[in-house]
Structure 1
Amino acid sequence: MSKFYYNEEQESYDAIVVGTGISGGWAAKELCEKGLKTLVLERGRMVKHREDYPTANMDPWDFPHNGEPTTEDLKKQEKQGRTGYTVKAASKHWFVNDLEHPYNEVKRFDWMRGYHVGGRSIMWGRHSYRWSEIDFAANGKEGVGVDWPVRYKDIAPWYDKVESYIGVSGELLGLPQLPDGKFEPMMELNCVEDHVRGKVAEHFDGRVITAGRVAHINSDKRFEGDGRVRCQYRNRCIRGCPFGAYFSSVSSTLPAAEKTGNMTLRPDSIVHEIMYDPDTKKATGVKVIDRVTKEPYEFKAKVIFLCASALASTSILMQSKSDRFENGLGNDSGELGHNIMDHHFWVGARGKMDGYDDKYYQGRKPNGIYIPRFRNLGGASDMKDFTRGYGYQGGASRGDYDDLVAEASYGKEFKEGALKPGGWMMNMLAFGEILPYHDNKMTLDYEKLDQWGLPTVTFDAEIRQNELNMRKDMMDQAAQMLEKSGARDIEPYDLPYALGLGIHEMGTARMGRDPKTSVVNGFNQVHACKNVYVTDGAFMTSASCVNPSLTYMAFTARAADHAVKELKNGNI
């Protein structure tokens, strides 16, 4: 990435992309490769691949206090620190200071934020699963929220495109609830995981254990990007991967955009408003505050992509008020800010496994197992107490297994229950779908402003009875599978969960057919302002139970293709 990113700044562009993470990187790549002069705005600092990964090659003994947070560290991340891992010395530099970036809670909400070029694509969990037809049809079938205006067949070609570009390791399973993709070779299960896989298949009809499908190169195939090579099995992914072995925007999509000569990247640029022209019924550009100097700027463009993250993009829309949009740009439905979703977890079971004391494993693979959804798929799988379903991540190790599940790393209460190195431990940690409840919402507080004079976000969201009923089954089924696998000292657990903890924020600017009940249409365009596209988690209409980032990328690539065609046809 040598000179990376900086072209001469100008006032007007073909396109503006807000955000540089999972979806922002894809928007930048696709728009630039299709010939659009594109300004990419990032509210945080500059990060260059390899150069700016300060802890990537540090060993445990290189960190003061064994990497544990100091009292001062904890003060700076009182809310994010509730998760445990954001304050660890190896990764704390990727997560914002809560005191400098405050938010408010009616009910607890764990909002993990990374304000820098690359966003959370640098420290994401990398699990990459396709949605199925079952997922896209569920709302319409059950009368929940609003129906998706798209189906699996509409998105499948874009999943193909994304997987082929980023590199996803996985196993072909032929399951309707978890469609297969364009995979790199699967990362091998260790001996205990393979044993449990066989026992679960033997005793539970229709249940499958496979390796987690993760965005890691696991072959010598050449992938586009800044010298991307196969995974080295270091499992230091959250620090930034100098090998580019896992997908991140700084090692892959942003360099591709830069290579075209069509991208201008401007870090330290806080977008807070989209400008709207009532005569043309189009957005004209964005208003920006420089993070460092606090000077205001305006940039104009023909099309705008909001990819700042679900809650940040919606905050921008809510601040974009005008005579036409008194309650925020595109908010004719009143749904803007509502229907917050995540994946609820911290529930499952663990147990000790005997019989493999003479075996170990080589390297530190960056994933564990995955058990696809097996509830509410028809017939005997249907449950009376809850709708939708869940899957499991986890794995087996001789010691602490927290590293096998990125979202579970370092939780104090969980870690204290883990077996010390020596014997084998198997853990099954469930991730369940949360329904799109209208009352789960975010609002803006104009009485509590941040240091840039912008309103802070207030969260009022929680899981409901459907999720609570699901959690009982998530725990019980994990314990039963471990028991049938021969585990002993099985410990079912259901630990406290608050929205945001799964780091899969979704909803708040949902997709739908009807402008009266949704914010964006089937191509991610704001219904009432067609040259604004929202392609991060904000557009999600339901949550499925699988990690959502692959779906964001697929929809972003599709939306960029649509935007360029609409521009050429003079429709936006």
Structure 2
Amino acid sequence: MANLNTTVNKTHRYDAIVIGSGMSGGWAAKELCEKGLKTLVLEKGRMVNHVEDYPTMMKDHWEFEHRGALSHDDQQKYHIQTRIGFVGEGTKHFFTNDLEDPYIETKRFDWIRGNHTGGRSLTWGKHCYRWSDLDFTANACEGIAVDWPIRYKDIAPWYSYVEKFVGISGEKLGLDHLPDGVFLPPIPLNCLETHFKQAMVKKYGNRHVTPGRVAHLTDPQPWHLELGRGQCQNRNRCSRGCPYGAYFSSNAATLPAANRTGNFAIRPHSVVHSLIYDEKTNRATGVRVVDSETKEMTEFYANLIFCCASSMATTQILLNSTSTRYPNGLGNDSGELGHNIMDHHYHVGAMGSYDGFEDQYYKGRKPAGLFIPRYVNLDEQSKNPNFLRGYDYQGAGAGRGNWGSGVNTPGVGAAFKESLFKPGGWGMGLMGFGEVLPYHDNKVTLHPTQKDQWGLPTLVFDAEFKQNELAMRKQIMADAAEMLEASGFRNISTFDYSGGIGVGVHEMGTARMGRDPKTSVLNGNNQVHGVPNVFVTDGSCMTSSSCVNPSITYMALTARAVDFATKALNKTDL
């Protein structure tokens, strides 16, 4: 794979600028470049090239100095991100050093970050589920926050467009509230997961069990192979960087696709300070960038600007982009910029052991478990009076115990060593994933005096899970235990560790879309109200959060917004 072009032109002028190179930034770059626009991508962190910059991709656990655990010094460096167990010795290079880039927590906020080329597309969970009109109409139906300015029909063709390129493995279910997509063959359930699925069919009519719909190439198509991507090898070492390009990331897919057009350049170590606004034209003319290494300020100019830095980072940039016209942040006439933080709440469910299937095992370390779509509050028959919206179960799966069971077991000699090679019993866990409502008082603001090392005001988080989420968690836990018991599991135990908002790594909503500039930051085309050449397509644009992973929705919204923006640019509407 050829390295990405990092040569910046001498004029610092481009047709388009994309802030961020992660999930949505990669898509913006690909689409803009393929439509013929000279595009500059600004990346806050270091350069990471596909394959050559994945230092731990082939290592086994015993090759790490601390067997995968963080040293004491590293625990201090990643003290926020280790609170929920995301960072290990094999992946620490893809996570942000919390000491170097701190923030303020009025209430606990678990901000998981990756400041480097590709961002969190290198470490994401890869689950991809379409939203439906159950999601897009929920706010309007319940009188909560504001209505989405789009419906499923507006984004459905763009889901299909991005799914084909990404490569999503999954099976079709025919559910209205979880629309089917363009799928590659699913990653199969193992024997115990299949048993559980059969038990759910027998016990419940509306609880479907299916392999997780994940961005893994189980059957690469010609357009995947052209980019050098290959079939998933079931190594389950995805977050170290995949040398096969089997799971979707910006580094393996969208950025190389942009690079091959000849219209692409990326500038790492570029901390965007603010957007440059022209009050005469009501347009942004460019961005101010602080070099993270030299601390020098540079300006870059473009006719189109796409903000894709991640929800909180984009909001920080917009809030810091002040002018006489926008004293409280670019496009912030509504006062909603920074408010309505959402995420998903999880780390709640149950686990148990199962007697049987001792004569069966499984091959490889499959990177996805089972998925149980939402079955609560779909209609009057499934209504739960204790909370609004719903939840699903994902990332869960069944497996057998291994040699690790001997770590705390007394024993020596040949017989003990031989026992470690015998598979243990079967067990399975169910992990709930719930929707968070858009509360206005869940917010992020700029500290009035404290600044980071690059001169940007420090972010202050004041957000929490509220009663609706807490009530939902009780039901998630109870249902998980009930389903395991109904399918013959024993030694069932429940767990509930909520953490703070941010724990789901799906922070959303701080520059929401809407129909009215008085109550929203963006319109239905992801344009900033009042500044039509600025588009925001990362998580900050979301108006509600659904209970399924949002990344494929970010991608579809980004492709859709680029299509609109380039057509408008050609008509000189921008």
Matches within 5 A, 1:83-122: 83-86=84-87, 88-122=88-122
Partner of 1:522: 524
- How far the C-alpha of 1:66 sits from its partner, in A, is 1.1
Secondary structure of the corresponding residue to residue 80 of structure 1: coil
Partner of 2:216: 216
C-alpha distance after superposition, 1:513-562 (max 9, x if no partner): 00000000000000110100000000000000001100000000000000
Amino acid in the other structure paired with 1:145: A
Partner of 2:390: 389
Secondary structure of the corresponding residue to residue 43 of structure 1: coil
Would the aligned equivalents of 2:155 and 2:557 in 1 still touch at CA under 8 Å? yes
Amino acid in the other structure paired with 2:400: R
The 2-side partners of 1:440 and 1:523 are apart by 25
C-alpha distance after superposition, 1:410-443 (max 9, x if no partner): xxxxxxxxxx961111110000000000000001
The 1-side partners of 2:79 and 2:26 are apart by 30
Would the aligned equivalents of 1:166 and 1:223 in 2 still touch at CA under 8 Å? no
The 2-side partners of 1:399 and 1:509 are apart by 45
- How far the C-alpha of 1:85 sits from its partner, in A, is 2.6
Would the aligned equivalents of 1:511 and 1:519 in 2 still touch at CA under 8 Å? yes
Matches within 5 A, 1:280-359: 280-359=281-360
2:431 pairs with 1:439: no
Matches within 5 A, 1:361-400: 361-393=362-394, 394-399=396-401
Amino acid in the other structure paired with 2:525: F
- How far the C-alpha of 1:447 sits from its partner, in A, is 2.1
The 1-side partners of 2:182 and 2:129 are apart by 11
Task: Calculate percent identity across the aligned residue pairs.
Answer: 59
2:487 pairs with 1:478: no
The 2-side partners of 1:495 and 1:15 are apart by 43
Consecutive aligned runs of 4 or more in structure 1 exceeding 3 Å deviation:
223-226
Secondary structure of the corresponding residue to residue 66 of structure 2: helix
Amino acid in the other structure paired with 2:185: P
How many pairs were matched up?
Answer: 553
Matches within 5 A, 1:385-534: 385-393=386-394, 394-399=396-401, 422-534=424-536
The 1-side partners of 2:568 and 2:274 are apart by 23
Would the aligned equivalents of 1:271 and 1:289 in 2 still touch at CA under 8 Å? yes
Partner of 2:547: 545
- How far the C-alpha of 1:221 sits from its partner, in A, is 2.4
- How far the C-alpha of 1:84 sits from its partner, in A, is 1.9
C-alpha distance after superposition, 1:95-134 (max 9, x if no partner): 1111100001000000011000011101111000000111
Secondary structure of the corresponding residue to residue 299 of structure 1: strand
The 2-side partners of 1:494 and 1:262 are apart by 49
Amino acid in the other structure paired with 2:223: F
The 1-side partners of 2:468 and 2:197 are apart by 29
Partner of 1:264: 265
Amino acid in the other structure paired with 2:263: N
Amino acid in the other structure paired with 1:485: S
2:161 pairs with 1:161: yes
| Cα distance, 1:571–1:220 mapped onto 2, change above 3 Å | closer
Alignment TM-score, normalising by the size of structure 1? 0.95
Would the aligned equivalents of 2:3 and 2:49 in 1 still touch at CA under 8 Å? no
Alignment TM-score, normalising by the size of structure 2? 0.95
Amino acid in the other structure paired with 2:184: E
Would the aligned equivalents of 1:446 and 1:454 in 2 still touch at CA under 8 Å? no
Secondary structure of the corresponding residue to residue 252 of structure 1: helix
Amino acid in the other structure paired with 2:83: R
Structure 2: which 5+ residue stretches go unaligned?
405-421
2:75 pairs with 1:74: yes
Would the aligned equivalents of 2:392 and 2:548 in 1 still touch at CA under 8 Å? yes
Matches within 5 A, 1:27-38: 27-38=28-39
The 2-side partners of 1:123 and 1:182 are apart by 23
Secondary structure of the corresponding residue to residue 73 of structure 1: helix
Would the aligned equivalents of 2:4 and 2:265 in 1 still touch at CA under 8 Å? no
The 2-side partners of 1:489 and 1:220 are apart by 41
Would the aligned equivalents of 1:330 and 1:529 in 2 still touch at CA under 8 Å? yes
The 2-side partners of 1:357 and 1:109 are apart by 43
- How far the C-alpha of 1:379 sits from its partner, in A, is 2.7
Amino acid in the other structure paired with 2:483: M
C-alpha distance after superposition, 1:162-213 (max 9, x if no partner): 0000100000000011100000001100000000000011101111000000
- How far the C-alpha of 1:69 sits from its partner, in A, is 1.0
Partner of 2:572: 570
The 1-side partners of 2:3 and 2:355 are apart by 55
